[in-house]
Amino acid sequence: MRRVRMARAPFCTDPRLSWLVATLSGDHTEDAPYAALSHCWGAYEPLCKTTRGTIADRKTRIPWSLLPKTFQDAIEFIRRLGLRYLWIDTICIIQDDTEDWLRESTRMHSVYKNAFLTIAAASSRDSRDGLFSRTPGPFKIATLAKGSSWYNLLARPYYNHMFSGTRRETIPTETPLLGRGWVFQERLLSPRVLYFTNMELVWECRRAANCECLKFRTDVTTSSAAKHQFRLEQCVPTSTTLSMVSVSDWSSGWSYRPFTDDWIDIWHTIVGEYSQLKLTKESDRLPALSGVAQEIAIRRSDEKYLAGLWSGSLKKDLMWYTHRGVESMFPASI
């Protein structure tokens, strides 16, 4: 698996850049811990993207000036964590090589499942926006208590963010990344995700989810709400809880759907959530969910995956419907 590797550049006078020489490394780094970046491409084509014509240069050096702000911020962040490797699809997949793209897209489940941390640029519309926001931190309020003693009270607002039950149609505006289809399996398969939003950081892992303002907080072992959410561990034990906050949860708070141990019901819920998200290319509809399907197939060897359906439950798989009204149930063409 290709990764972006950082090393020291001893002859650079800039203290920040003196640490960095970015190169595209090969499979010899397979056991090294790494982070993965989840980001929106948008309409912007980063100058640092890898093509058949630039891959040789990428293996030698990636100039800092070619990296857009989100990539630079992600590199600075993982450096502070002590990591030296970062997976970025723009750089680690040859963008104008269909064969390479098809091969690497089938490895997505491995990329995110094995990442030490997934960094999600949740509020960035494209890679130029960066990770870090400039929102004010906690502020001090002086209060006079009984007995004329002074105390400092630290306070911060509750944010109307992606985990607070806002209407679904507002979510892509606030956190456009979470409205993208490819990102769905990245969330599900990553053991840890740190979301950088315009308002705060949000943490999501296999045990809990939390945010800086504490408005959204849950522990999957103790939260009464968490007991009602669907989980992927039944069919993919090594994956993250699926998902700490689903698309439905974003729009209406917690969805109190019956808890089920039936893995095919879990799959149907996955497909239902995924189907609400956007893809730039309709041809990505199956590839963008293939990572989750691969993880299920590994543990369900008696089942055969059939382009979104499963051999042992075809009848149930085909019993789907839309919420768009009677007219949409009878399309003029297929």
pLDDT in tens, 89-129: 888 888 888 888 888 887 888 888 889 999 999 888 888 98
Residue 214 has pLDDT above 60, yes or no: yes
Q: What is the pLDDT of residues 137-151, one digit of tens each?
A: 666 666 566 666 666
Q: Helix axis angle, 181-189 relative to 290-299, nearest 10°?
A: 40
CA distance linking residue 6 with residue 331, whole number of Å:
53
The pairs formed by 129-137 with CB atoms below 8 angstroms and a separation of 24 or more are 129/69, 129/70, 130/69, 130/70, 130/72, 130/73, 131/70, 131/73, 131/74, 131/77, 131/196, 132/73, 132/196, 133/196, 133/197, 133/198, 133/199, 135/198, 135/199, 135/200
| Mean pLDDT of the residues in the chain | 71
Reported as type and span, the H/E element at residue 119 is strand 117-120
Residue 67 has pLDDT above 70, yes or no: yes
Residue 87 has pLDDT above 50, yes or no: yes
pLDDT of residue 94: 86
CA distance linking residue 183 with residue 277, whole number of Å:
9
pLDDT band, very low/low/confident/very high, at 68 (cuts 50, 70, 90) = very high
CA distance linking residue 70 with residue 133, whole number of Å:
11
137/251: higher pLDDT: 137
Residue 174 has pLDDT above 80, yes or no: no
CA distance linking residue 268 with residue 320, whole number of Å:
9
Q: What is the pLDDT of residues 304-329, one digit of tens each?
A: 888 888 888 888 878 776 666 555 55
137/72: higher pLDDT: 72
Residue 268 has pLDDT above 90, yes or no: no
194 — phi, psi (to 5°)? Answer: -115, 115
Residue 287 has pLDDT above 80, yes or no: yes
pLDDT of residue 110: 85
3-state secondary structure of 86: strand
CA distance linking residue 130 with residue 68, whole number of Å:
8
